[in-house]
Amino acid sequence: MIRINSHYTKLQASYLFSDIAKRVAAFQNAHPDKEIIRLGIGDVTMPLPDACIQAMHQAVDEMADPETFRGYGPEQGYDFLREAIAREDFQARGADINAHEIFISDGAKCDTGNIQELFARDITVAIPDPVYPVYLDTNVMAGRTGAFKNGRYEGIVYLDCTAENGFVPALPETPVDLIYLCFPNNPTGTTITRNELQVWVDYARENKALILYDAAYVAFIRDDSLPQSIYEIPGARDVAIEFRSFSKTAGFTGTRCAYTVVPTTCRAFDDKGQEHDLHSLWNRRHCTKFNGVSYPIQRAAEAVYSEEGKKQCRALSDYYLHNAALVIEKMTALGFACVGGKNSPYIWVSGNRGSWELFDLLLNEAGVVCTPGAGFGRCGEGYIRISAFNSYENVAKAMQRIEKALG
């Protein structure tokens, strides 16, 4: 008899963003003439930078010519892209990362979800609350948790991120092995300072733990004092894996390209206490389960690092940050406390009522979709997340409608 992985039965009914999409579709069915403005899921709306489009066109032409056609590429990604990333995203900022430590993939969601396969089932995992649901759900699927009770899974060490701690979690009170951190944060939009991040790196070194650092929103950092990579922090090379994505940096949500950095100095231990290097393990997994990102897409990603590409990507994130500033201004004027939105496309709004209640209110009365904070964890209750990924005109219209509904 075929049997399922019973850990899947512990999962909440559906993935947060699918759940929201269903509610929005139901509303749209009931009110077909109402125009909905989507400030929910963090999906970009602006087209790809011209430099990327040009590079992609050229690469497509190469694929049409027998002389320049390419079949399978290296699973880890082409050197032209890995070298550009190492030089521009790390070495230019003084971070000691080499091209061969970079693995190109089709998304940070997949990589942050898949990475946990490398680790034993009985390790202790620390996960922030609120959190991007992928980190948690993939550990549930792998059997690292007990049942879901009172809004939390048994067996997970939750790191509370609240207004009291500025949404930067304190070190766990009990020892942990694997730590998920995401800055600029999804969903709260908050950032971490060098000193705060150093505390985590020191903790990981002292406890032989590992940090999984999701920096998918790094392109939105405008405060130069903030670290862009965990590898800017001394000692991080030995205890941290970093995830990056071209989705939010260059509008690749539909195009798919990302990368994961696994330094060759990162170690983990087997049951006998013997050291293993995680770079080799991830390489083994990657080559077994993945056949690489397509050549035209990797050429498009490489163009992000050209002089034109850099300017065009900066203009994209500036555009969304301009939207975010408007959201902060208008929501603050309506009496809501907001964080994020300054070095991030997300604004975390204290809703003065239940998250889903405010979600429904904004949908029904204003035709605006946000994301209920409670969907990201128990500490998200009472908040909503507003995404700045839309046109300025739509964001302005959404704010007017919210003012009218709530003002």
Q: Which residues bind ligand MLT (CB under 6 A)?
A: 41-43, 109, 132, 186
Report the first-to-last Cα separation within the chain, whole angstroms.
59
Residue number of the CB closest to ligand MLT reads 42
User: Between 109 and 144, whose beta carbon lies closer to ligand MLT?
Assistant: 109
CA atoms of 188 and 74, how far apart (whole Å): 36
Of 132, 183, 142, 188, the C-alpha closest to 15 is 132
The alpha-carbon radius of gyration of the chain (Å, integer) is 21
CA atoms of 153 and 131, how far apart (whole Å): 13
User: Between 358 and 370, whose beta carbon lies closer to ligand MLT?
Assistant: 370
CB of 375 to ligand MLT, least distance (A): 10
User: Between 86 and 219, whose beta carbon lies closer to ligand MLT?
Assistant: 219
CB of 387 to ligand MLT, least distance (A): 6
CB of 301 to ligand MLT, least distance (A): 16
Any idea which residue has 């947060």 for tokens? 16
CB of 186 to ligand MLT, least distance (A): 5
CB of 15 to ligand MLT, least distance (A): 10
CB of 275 to ligand MLT, least distance (A): 33
User: Between 228 and 371, whose beta carbon lies closer to ligand MLT?
Assistant: 371
How far CA 189 is from CA of 83, 340, 368, in Å, comes to 30, 4, 20
Per the CB < 8 A criterion, the answer to whether 336 and 349 are in contact is yes
User: Between 182 and 278, whose beta carbon lies closer to ligand MLT?
Assistant: 182
CB of 277 to ligand MLT, least distance (A): 29
CA atoms of 348 and 328, how far apart (whole Å): 9
Per-residue burial over 247-286, b = 16 or more CB atoms within 10 Å of its CB, e = otherwise: bbbbbbbebbbbbbbbbeebebeeeeeeeeebbebbbeeb
The continuous run of DSSP H or E covering 179 comes out as strand 178-182
User: Between 189 and 309, whose beta carbon lies closer to ligand MLT?
Assistant: 189
User: Between 176 and 349, whose beta carbon lies closer to ligand MLT?
Assistant: 349
